[in-house]
Structure 1
Amino acid sequence: MSSYSWLKILALPAFLLPATTRAQVISGKILDAKTHAVLPFVNIGVLHKSVGTVADAQGAYHLSVASVSAHDTIRVSGLGFRPRLLRVQELQQQPTVELSPEAVLLREVKVKAKGFYKRTHLLGFKNPDASGTLTMSSNDLGTEIGSVINLSRRPTRVVNANFNVAYNHSGPLTFRVNMYRLRPDGKPSEEKLLRRDVIVTFGSEKGTISVDLTPDQLILDEDFMLALEWIDGPNQAQVKSNLAFVAGLGYANNDFYLRQTSQATWERTSVGAVLAGMQPKISFYVTVQD
């Protein structure tokens, strides 16, 4: 082959090179398309592939794409911004992603007169002394665990969210508290009921983590799923083996779900009929007024 032919091959555009020559980890930043400010803790993941991550507090991310195709679809989403869908190869070529602000339409809720919400009580599996434990489903940022919360009266005002930690050997970890609307089949959707990112960091303590939700003025007339999503922590933290939440058996219909990382599919966890209908429950619950 002539030297001229070699030069022609070496000059091929990057998008014509074989996929095996591409970087296996995409690193970039997530920005606000309007202000160009960095966007912290944005979800980035390959749809339905359990390949994903979360941007850090400075908007930077690192996404491993070694196990996916260049033509797979990546979803980038953050609360208050319009999600973007990109092919893997598009993100490789332009790893800085800008998200446009999106107006959020709130579902109409019938609000009863001031002073109506007089009864304060707990909803969910609230036993802090249960003998079981449940863990996250992976060690990837964006891994998430949640429990369905069933309302006893409607409408209901949500006061705070509570999570019973059995142990944490990873050191300080940062989570996002999420509340998801349920689909007609009772499974969690991707629609969030909280209209701000509620971030909580806790260390190695054992016990109840309570998060104040009164600033959100959250009044609901529907069941929902309460979840914790791991978004930041020590490098290489083995969250799956080093962090566990209190769990036990109960009769209430508080199904719990897991997903491995950002944009992955929710998986319902069940062990079938146990002890005359009792099912495993994770100790996530809310304080409400109705």
Structure 2
Amino acid sequence: MLRSLLVAFLLILLAPATTLAQSISGRVTDAITGQPLPFVNIGVVAKALGTVSSAQGTYQLACPDKLAADTVRISSLGYRTLNVLLRQLATQPNLALSRAPVALAEVQVQAKNLFKRTRTLGFTGNSESATMSIKSTDLGAQVGTVIYLKHKPSKVLTANFNVAFNRAGKVTFRLNLYRLDAQGKPTDEKLLRREVVLNTDVTKGPISIDLAADKIILEEDFLLAIEWIGGADAAKIQQGLAFSAGLGYANNDIYFRTVSQAAWERLSAGAVLAGMQPKLGFFVTVQD
């Protein structure tokens, strides 16, 4: 009984696909070089309609009449975010993004006693029966968990994701670390200053990403998320890929978004099971 309840609570139920009036096909390029830009997030703001450009910069996006006056946000790390109306995108589907100014690295003076202790933060469970899936009809779907720092500042060394099973084949993911707002909810501001794209066909077990060279030093809690940006199709992702999960009392707030630029939503088991909450098998190692 507990297992069936757990699985029910941990399924991410996403909105059904929007009825298509027409389909927009285009390409995203660098405004200066003309080179195609891969894995750009494209979507109607806060709606369940979005996608990600391919490795060749091409994309395809539905264009339902009822959303024609809504704003489409096009964003990519290192480039200025572009906002256009969906009906304008339908007439001018090819997009050129301008590079954003590069911020100089902050000089940090660190005491000698900092970063001596290594610890693991998050949920390390590797269950193959209690699982959580990414379900979406298009690219850009994400799921993540809030990582609460024990001591501040902390230096992030690795990001880890426990795969319960993968029968979808090779999948392309993007690692994202997001800043939280004053209420503890994820924003769109990324704390990782480079694109970390991972092509994997791991069938089960941990995916570990080394971040030591990035020198990510944080004094704030953050959202650790993984984003589906390519590889297997939506049907295979929905049916054949899941991450380890569990239940517990400790903070492990889980957020998801259905497609690119969709609103973040919080997953909760509510008041059942004596206040226990779902936990997702995502964790980091840090030094503090």
Indicate whether the TM-score tops 0.5.
yes
Q: Deviations over 1:236-284 (max 9, x none)?
A: 5431221110000122211001111000001100011344332111010
Structure 1 67/146 Cα, relative in aligned 2: closer, same or farther at 3 Å?
Answer: farther
What pairs with 1:68-87 in structure 2 (closer than 5 Å)?
68-87=66-85
Within-5 A mapping of 1:26-175? 26-66=24-64, 68-105=66-103, 111-113=109-111, 116-129=114-127, 131-175=129-173
* Farther off after superposition, 146-155 or 89-98: 89-98
Which residue of structure 2 lines up, in the alignment, with residue 230 of structure 1? 228
Alignment of 1:195-210 (within 5 A): 195-210=193-208
Cα 1:106–1:283 shift into 2, 3 Å = farther
Match of 1:252 among 250, 253, 257: 250
Q: Distance in 2 between matches of 1:282 and 1:208?
A: 13
User: Could you tell me whether the CA contact under 8 Å between 1:139 and 1:238 is conserved in 2?
Assistant: no
1:44 to partner: Cα distance: 0.4
Counterpart residue type for residue 95 of structure 1: P
Instruction: Report if aligned partners of 2:144, 2:226 keep a CA contact under 8 Å in 1.
Output: yes
Measured in 1, the distance between the counterparts of 2:28 and 2:267 equals 33
Question: Cα–Cα, structure 1 residues 29 and 85, in superposed 2: closer, same or farther, change >3 Å?
Answer: same
Superposed, 1:260-279 pairs within 5 Å as 260-279=258-277
Higher mean C-alpha deviation, range 91-100 or range 183-192:
91-100
Contact 1:149–1:225 at 8 Å: present in 2 too? yes
Map 1:2-41 → 2, pairs under 5 A: 24-41=22-39
Q: Give the secondary-structure state (helix, strand or coil) at the position aligned to 2:274.
A: coil
Q: CA deviation at 1:64?
A: 1.3
Q: What is the Cα deviation at residue 113 of structure 1?
A: 3.0
Tell me which stretches of 4 or more aligned residues in structure 1 moved more than 4 Å. Answer: 104-111
Match of 2:14 in 1: none
Residues 21 and 65 in structure 2, CA contact (< 8 A), matched pair in contact too: no
Contact 2:152/2:220 (<8 A) preserved: yes
**Structure 1 residue matching 2:194: 3-state secondary structure:** coil
Give the distance between the partners of 2:62 and 2:76, measured in 1 at CA: 20
Percent identity among equivalent residues? 54
Which segments of 5 or more consecutive residues in structure 1 lack a partner in the other structure?
1-21
Structure 1 residues 213 and 280: alpha-carbon distance in aligned structure 2, compared to 1, 3 A threshold: same
Taking structure 1 as reference, are residues 84 and 277 closer, same or farther at Cα in structure 2, changes over 3 Å only? same
